[in-house]
Amino acid sequence: MGGLNIDIQAAGNALLGAVTASLIAADVQIPKRTGFVPGGLVAYDGEMLVCNLVNIGMGQPGQDQATSVQPVELMFYYWFQINFLRQVPGIAGDGMNGGLLPTNRAQENSYALLANDAENLLGAVVAAQASGAIVPINIPFHYGPLAMVGPEGTLGGSRIDVKFQAGHAMDGSF
pLDDT in tens, 20-61: 999 999 999 999 999 998 777 788 888 999 999 998 887 777
Which three-class secondary structure state does DSSP give residue 169? coil
Q: Give the number of domains in the chain.
A: 1
174 part of a folded domain: no
pLDDT the model gives residue 172? 58
Amino acid identity, residue 172?
G
Is the residue at 50 inside a domain? yes
Distance CA 72, CA 81 (A): 25
Provide the b/e sequence for 66-86 (b: ≥16 CB within 10 Å).
eeeeeeebbbbbbbbbbbbbb
- Give the mean pLDDT of 13-22: 95
In a domain, residue 172? The reply is: no
CATH number at residue 105: 3.30.70
Which whole number is the average pLDDT over 63-78? 65
Q: Is 52 helix (H, G, I), strand (E, B) or coil?
A: strand
Q: Tell me: pLDDT of 123 over 70.
A: yes
Instruction: Report yes or no on 2 lying in a domain.
Output: no
According to the model, what pLDDT value does residue 158 have? 94
Does any domain span residue 156?
yes
Q: Is residue 20 part of a domain?
A: yes
Q: Give the residue-averaged pLDDT of 124-144.
A: 89
**Mean pLDDT, range 72-85, rounded to an integer:** 83
Q: Provide the domain limits for residue 22.
A: 8-165
Q: Is residue 1 domain-resident?
A: no
pTM of the predicted model as reported, rounded to 2 decimal places: 0.84
